């Protein structure tokens, strides 16, 4: 049965038995002084699977990395930590330059799986630290702890910025709605003021004989005053409501 552990690695059989055809979660396996460290590479956008990278530390302190040939695997592991740090800094810069809810949501969507990768990496390095006595492992464990805190702050900042932007947009929309209501109310007041004049003018302007065709001019002014008085009365009642 094929395994993800390179055949050339002289790891104990017990380690090979604990790793199947897939690398699985990030973790450290220690047997007979040998350390096998399984880490996940940077998560890719819209990709739920996580590519794994293996590191083997022999009892003599030498390191090997999968895919790195016979070269020293320790610098490869350090570069892996640096790539995670760089990805976090890039996302943090995007939070600072974000302007819309979509900007913050995009950052949050990318930072959340990255936070999980960093958290599990820190846990795996802690397991490695407990299994072997190596100052390099201690230093990388501490670096992973710093990365985990950075990722937590990044996700928190992105989430807070997203919530603030949504709340600010909702507040602005509510203010616009309030202004529209006030404008509509003013239009209603104007309509109430001129409605009696318009109605009476329409009635008196009809081409029907009403008996008022020969009325003196004072009648017109009385009707106009009564119409405006009715309009002011209707407007006052609307303002009270």
60 lies in the same domain as 21: yes
State phi, psi for 220 to the nearest 5 degrees: -60, -45
Strand partners, 54: 38
How far is the C-alpha of 83 from the C-alpha of 25, rounded, in Å?
Answer: 19
**C-beta separation of 61 from 133 below 8 A:** no
| pLDDT at position 185 | 73
Q: Last residue of a domain, which of 168, 190, 223?
A: 168
How far is the C-alpha of 121 from the C-alpha of 3, rounded, in Å?
Answer: 22
Does 27 map to a domain?
yes
67 lies in the same domain as 151: yes
158 lies in the same domain as 62: yes
Q: Last residue of a domain, which of 114, 136, 168?
A: 168
Number of domains in the chain: 2
62 lies in the same domain as 90: yes
123 lies in the same domain as 191: no
Does 176 map to a domain?
no
User: What 3-state class would DSSP assign to 37?
Assistant: strand
Does 4 map to a domain?
no
How far is the C-alpha of 32 from the C-alpha of 27, rounded, in Å?
Answer: 17
Q: Last residue of a domain, which of 168, 200, 222?
A: 168
Instruction: Give the DSSP H/E element, type plus range, for residue 233.
Output: helix 217-240
What average pLDDT does the chain have?
83
Strand partners, 38: 27, 54
pTM higher than the cut 0.95: no
pLDDT digits (tens, 9 = 90+) for 164-204: 888 888 887 888 888 887 777 777 776 766 667 676 666 66
pLDDT digits (tens, 9 = 90+) for 89-102: 999 999 989 888 89
Q: Which domain holds residue 114?
A: 13-168
């Amino acid at each position: 049965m094929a395994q993800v552990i390179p055949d050339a690695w002289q790891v104990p059989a017990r380690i090979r038995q604990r790793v199947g055809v897939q690398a699985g979660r990030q973790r450290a396996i220690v047997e007979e002084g040998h350390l096998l460290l399984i880490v996940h590479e940077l998560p890719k956008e819209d990709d739920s699977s996580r590519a794994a990278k293996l590191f083997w530390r022999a009892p003599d302190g030498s390191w090997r990395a999968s895919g790195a040939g016979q070269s020293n695997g320790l610098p490869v592991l350090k570069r892996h930590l640096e790539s995670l740090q760089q990805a976090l800094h890039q996302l943090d810069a995007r939070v600072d330059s974000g302007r819309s809810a979509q900007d913050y949501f995009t950052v949050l969507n990318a930072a959340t799986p990255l936070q999980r990768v960093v958290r599990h990496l820190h846990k795996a390095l802690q397991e490695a630290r407990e299994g072997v006595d190596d100052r390099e492992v201690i230093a990388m464990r501490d670096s992973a702890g710093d990365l985990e805190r950075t990722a937590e702050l990044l996700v928190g900042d992105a989430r807070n910025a997203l919530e603030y932007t949504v709340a600010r947009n909702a507040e602005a929309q509510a203010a616009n709605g309030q202004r529209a209501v006030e404008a509509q109310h003013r239009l209603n007041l104007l309509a109430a003021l001129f409605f009696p004049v318009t109605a009476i003018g329409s009635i008196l302007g009809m081409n029907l004989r009403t008996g008022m065709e020969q009325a003196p001019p004072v009648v017109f002014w009385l009707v106009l005053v009564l119409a405006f008085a009715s309009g002011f009365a209707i407007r006052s009642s609307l303002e009270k409501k």
